[in-house]
Amino acid sequence: MTITTPITSEVLARAKWAFSTRRVQRKDAVRLSEALGDAISGDLVLGRVERIGSHKKIQLAEGRGSELYIGDLVVLACGDRYAPDQFEGLAELDPAGADMLAGGGVLGRMRQSHARMSAPTRVVPLGLLTHASGKVINLASYALKETKKSTGIMVIGVVGASMNSGKTTAVARLAHGLSRAGHEVAAIKATGTGAFGDFNAFVDTGAAYVADFTDAGMVSTYRQPLARIEAGLTTLLADAERQGCEVAVVELADGVFQKETADLLKNPKIRDGFAGVIFAAPDALAAAGGCAALRGMGVEPAVLTGMVSCSPLGAREAENATGVRVVTRDALSDPAQANALLARLVDGAAAQAAPLGIAEVGVAA
């Protein structure tokens, strides 16, 4: 039998609750379970910071960063992480100490890391937070109500060559441009690891609706079943439509070779639901390789953007190599040019085949 012990509201009030826990009703946490070995992705963990490592701050549920100190109490979610530039980690908890895999509040076991990363911040798990019944609190219990209903909202997908290729900036800029053009826009992150950086960037655009996979009950989509991720995206799109949005700009995290992203793009139900896909690349070679990979999945990129758009020479190389126009970030933010891109996607296959003038989308020149 799992042993649980009472925990006071005063103790929990002192703890730093991570962004990943932002939907949780804190009053529900009244007991602590020692069954750390049974933890699954999304379970809430109360821990004590033992050593400060690569993550020196925690992203709070309130939306700001907080400096971490040895001895701090923190509430994080057990979870996996996929980040080639940082850590790969698994949703496993060792009572002797676990690894803070992301500043947004993901705790687990670091499996491997990028060479430039220092050791992860170390947290001693004190127990899993539970309801009065002894049931472990999981983010899934606070997710938006799941819907399997297909939506009529127009969806623009944004994918990239890798982390830091410009995906989030592309989503933010396009959401901003379309919002300025008078559209009710949803900015959604469908996959990734719980963190407030991208979420806050989307909020700043003026988008009418902002959400990510944590709103669908997942601290991370890495190693989650495709059906669950697909259901989460469907739920977020339906919620956005209920709140009056007509178009959604949706980011899929990491690169097109990342398993969950690749599986989504290969899934006709998801792929065919995109009115168009924007590809963000750091340079021309990545643009060429990424476009080839997408075409192999049955996806024809509508336009290219990302870091490659910052260089006129790089943009020209990318266009020559792929036959796809490069759109600057400023162009995506411009309401007239964002509207032109939207109209092109709305027109569908006929417009896709038509030449796209430089003045229409503000390509790098």
Predicted TM-score (pTM) of the model is 0.93
pLDDT interval class at 3 (50, 70, 90):
confident
For 333, the enclosing helix (H) or strand (E) is helix 329-333
List, in order of start, the domains of the chain with CATH numbers.
Answer: 4-142 (no CATH), 154-361 (3.40.50.300)
pLDDT at 359 over 90: no
Classify 127 in phi/psi space as left (phi over 0), alpha (psi -120 to 50) or beta.
left
Mean pLDDT across the chain, nearest whole number?
Answer: 93
Closest to 192 in 3D by CA, of 150, 220, 212, 172: 220
Q: What is the pLDDT confidence band of residue 353, given thresholds at 50, 70 and 90?
A: very low
pLDDT above 50 for 174: yes
- CA 75/CA 1 separation, integer angstroms: 24
CA atoms within 13 A on the CB side of 121: 27
Give me 270's structure tokens: 């998801």
In this prediction, residue 149 has a pLDDT band, given cuts at 50, 70 and 90, of confident
Q: How far apart are CA 248 and CA 117, in angstroms?
A: 34
Contact predicate 146/117, CB 8 Å: no
DSSP state of 33: E
At 150 the pLDDT is 67
> Is the backbone of residue 226 left (phi > 0), alpha (psi -120 to 50) or beta?
alpha
| DSSP per residue, 271-329 | HTTEEEEEEE-SSHHHHHHHHHHHHHTT---SEEESGGGG-HHHHHHHHHHHS--BB-H
Helix (H, G, I), strand (E, B) or coil at 265: helix
Sign of the torsion angle spanned by Cα atoms 237, 240, 246, 250: negative
- The string of DSSP codes covering 144-162 is PPP-------EEEEEEESS
Alpha-carbon distance of 158 to 329, in angstroms, equals: 13
Query: What is the spatial distance between Cα 90 and Cα 101, in angstroms, rounded to a whole number?
Result: 9
Average pLDDT value for residue range 309-335:
97
pLDDT tens digits, 54-89:
999 999 999 999 999 999 999 999 999 999 999 999
Q: Tell me the pLDDT band of 355, cut-offs 50, 70 and 90.
A: very low
The upper half-sphere exposure of residue 245, i.e. CA atoms within 13 Å in the direction of its Cβ, equals 29
In the block, which residue shows the tokens 């949706």? 250
Q: What is the dihedral of CA 297, 300, 305, 311, to 10 degrees?
A: 100
Residue-level pLDDT at 361: 40
Q: How confident is the model at residue 164 (pLDDT cuts 50, 70, 90)?
A: confident
pLDDT at 182 over 80: yes
Per-residue burial over 251-272, b = 16 or more CB atoms within 10 Å of its CB, e = otherwise: bbbbbbebebbbbbbebeebbe
Can you tell me the distance from the alpha carbon of 147 to that of 145, in angstroms, rounded to the nearest whole number?
Answer: 6
CB contact at 8 A, 108 and 97? no
pLDDT at 350: 38
pLDDT at 161 over 70: yes
